[in-house]
A and B are shown apart, each in its own frame.
Chain A
Amino acid sequence: MNNQFEEDREDRNARVEGPRSDEHGSGSQVSNLDSPASAVRPIIGSRDRPIPQSPAHPITRPPGLPITGRWRSYQLLLLARLKEMYREPEVIFWVFIFPILLALGLGIAFRNKPADIIRVALVDGPGAAHAMELLRPASAAGTVKAVLLPAPEAFNQFRLGKYDLVVTPQAGGFEYLYDPARPESVLARSTTDDALQAAAGRKNSVPTSGRISSEPGARYIDFLIPGLLGMNLMNSGMWGIGFALVDLRQRKLLKRFVASPMRRSDFLLALASSRLVLMLLELALLLGFGAMAFHMHVAGSWISILTISTLGALCFGGVGLLTASRAQKIETVSGLINLVMMPMWILSGVFFSYERFPAILQPLIKALPLTALNDALRAAILEGAPLTHQSGRLLILGLWGIVCYLLALRWFRWT
């Protein structure tokens, strides 16, 4: 039946209500409207049906865990949390799809590939033909590609990054124009110099040889995936706990919950459990993706990887709880969360090694929870380091988690 029609009928019923004393008389009302279906009926509700035996359609419990007894509220709270998440497309995107896209994009951009051909601009003029002749063997070997250009154009194209090096023939020799801040330019200078010198007859004084090593485990994607995993655990812990709690507080739902006899511990436990369920999915997804798309090799044991991830998820859950302990508005907590996470995105070695930062910062960086988590994950996943060798990092994670959790317990407001 059309719902609008139902509402209309309710409206007409409502208008024929008698004065208060009459309404108190019986559990049902007699409507004097001419509508044939509006004879004796319950006060409100299923109008053509008796209450409550036969609702419109049978109410079936949705499939799920068998829910009974002491842990019923906990289970329902956990289910509610998970349902809310998977019914929110944005959450699915940020938690699951975004990290995969990031790994895919960065993995392709920084994939290991043969060294690029060195691009050299040769300034046209006297001696240029000779230089071209000298570079022919290197050009044939595919290491150097030289192009003859007039001087202004050569310098201009170099400035724009189209060439790594400009070679200007001079009386009896060559002048190199290169940029010491551009690694490929430095490489171009030495490779081109070697090629020219060798072609001009230089002899090596010491015999040297090289072997090639390019195994999975040492590539950028291998570095990246554990870092993304750590970052993902941090992001979803902070948002999944911190943001979710303030959202509940702002909506007065936290207050509504504590107005009931709900055990607060059940609520917090359900929140933490939902994080762990999500963590398992994130872990399986990212490592599975690394293995399938980039043939990543997971060296460590699942137990140690799971232990580290769990500790990381709980640690950032604690940090999230702390950021959420007082904030009344989601805008406030969003700012706080970004404030906490931003430095760690940069400092904690997600996308690049933190060894690049000055030595004086290193102790500070190593004390950050995300650094400890990333290092521990990398050691376990890439090197197969046992947990016993990682006690320092695990201790850092545990301490951050416990301290934040204890502070949050002191400060947390339910209302």
Chain B
Amino acid sequence: MMQSMDVAVRCRGLRKTYEGNIEAVRGLDLEIYAGECFGLLGPNGAGKTTTIEILEGLLEPTSGEIEILGHHWHTNNREVRELMGISLQETRLAEKLTVYETLELFASFYRRPRPIAEVMAQLALTEKSDAWVGKLSGGQKQRLAVATALVANPKILFLDEPTTGLDPQSRRQLWDVIRQFQKQGGTVLLTTHYMDEAERLCDRLAIIDHGLTIAGGTPSEMIEGLGAHHRVEFDATGIVAGELEPWRALPGVGAIHEEDGRVVLSVREPHETIPALLAAIQNRHGHLLHLTTRQASLEDVFVHLTGRHLRED
């Protein structure tokens, strides 16, 4: 893994300051290995689009070094572009062209494109072949955007928020397409602000906030890094709102906080904590109203690191 052959994308000290002194990216280091699906996870405005567009050679970085499959921007741009499939965050493709015409056009830009029929079939667009792009649903449009990337027959796929705004079903369809591409040896870099997407789809990821990497690694590493990676959430009678101290003494409890009137315990082993919790409530002559346990998620990692939620909306 450490040989340079295996690194598909590398960037060092990436910075981007927009006009008006907006520091969108403030020194980012990334190494994306060939064959993996790498995710940039972060809230809106974190600098994900800026980063991915710099890597795609569409934006000039203020400073920093970039290497893509051993190539550098400026030296052999056309060659690099032959290797990349790109879907931008927001592209409104020509509305009055059909799906087939759109893909045929994009295929013509590449030396070794994939057969259009094959790509349409893979993205479930075959039946829409002769439909105008303007008449497609949101999910179909997004699949077409990914199809224009796949028709390039790329080695690396860059996807900027490919599933934002899609219904759950369309999201899953796209996840499947991405996995299929990866299984055939492709490398994927995607950005997302959905933590479940990052968790389920990405082999490794970088959580970015305010233009900086605040955590990196595999999703499970990061969640385990929290230490107590289970959450026990409960509500009971006979407990005083805001009074969290009594629960700290329970076995295996890490952090405690209150959310929506419920007490949330971060615990290492639920099977040790829960019996003790029930006993403690009984001691206070209380009555359990609600109890759930769940695995910690990347959302919890983000909350732990920043004190904020990924999606504030």
Which residues does A use to contact B, with CB under 8 Å?
3, 6-7, 10-11, 14, 17, 20, 23-24, 27, 43-46, 49, 51-52, 55-57, 59, 61-62, 67, 72-73, 76-77, 80, 83-84, 87-88, 251-253, 255-262, 415
Contacts and interface: CB of A to CB of B under 8 A. Distances in A.
Contacts of B123: 44-45
Contacts of A255: 58, 88, 91
B105 interface: yes
Q: List the 3 closest A-B pairs by CB distance, nearest first.
A: A52-B118, A261-B81, A251-B92
Contact of A55 (B94, B97, B104, B126): B126
Contact of A253 (B91, B115, B168): B91
A84 B78 contact: no
B129 interface: yes
Interface residues of B, number: 52
B104 A76 contact: yes
A252 B87 CA distance: 11
A43 B180 contact: yes
A257 B91 CA distance: 10
B173 A62 contact: no
A11 B169 CA distance: 6
Interface string B90-131: 111110110011001110111100011110111110110100
A23 B104 contact: no
Given A46-B121, A260-B109, A253 B92 contact: yes
A11 B93 CA distance: 26
Given A52-B115, A73-B108, A252-B88, A46 B124 contact: yes
A259 B115 CA distance: 20
B31 interface: no
Given A83-B101, A261-B82, A51 B122 contact: yes
A62 B105 CA distance: 13
Nearest to A12: B169
A415 B90 CA distance: 12
Nearest to A23: B179
Given A10-B124, A52-B118, A76-B104, A252 B92 contact: yes
Nearest to B120: A55
A49 B120 CA distance: 13
B74 interface: no
B81 A59 contact: no
9 contacts: A44-B177, A52-B115, A55-B117, A59-B129, A88-B96, A253-B94, A255-B88, A259-B58, A260-B81
B109 A83 contact: no
B176 interface: yes
Contact of A14 (B117, B129, B152, B173): B173
B191 interface: no
Contact of B94 (A10, A43, A80): A80
Contacts of B82: 261
B109 A73 contact: yes
Contacts of A262: 109
A76 B129 contact: no
Contacts of B86: 256, 259-260
B110 A52 contact: no
Nearest to A1: B127
Given A55-B120, A84-B96, A23 B176 contact: yes
Contact of A72 (B108, B116, B132, B177): B108
Contacts of A251: 91-93
A256 B124 contact: no
B294 interface: no
Given A10-B124, A17-B172, A76-B104, A259 B92 contact: no
A87 B132 CA distance: 10
Residue from the set A44, A49, A73, A84 with the largest chain B CB neighbour count within 10 Å: A44
Nearest to A72: B108
Nearest to B110: A261
Contacts of A43: 176-177, 179-180
A95 to B, nearest CB: 15
A45 B90 contact: no
A251 B168 CA distance: 25
Contact of B173 (A44, A72, A252): A44
A256 B108 contact: no
A385 B8 CA distance: 65
A261 B104 contact: no
Given A56-B126, A261-B81, A62 B177 contact: no
B200 interface: yes
B163 interface: no
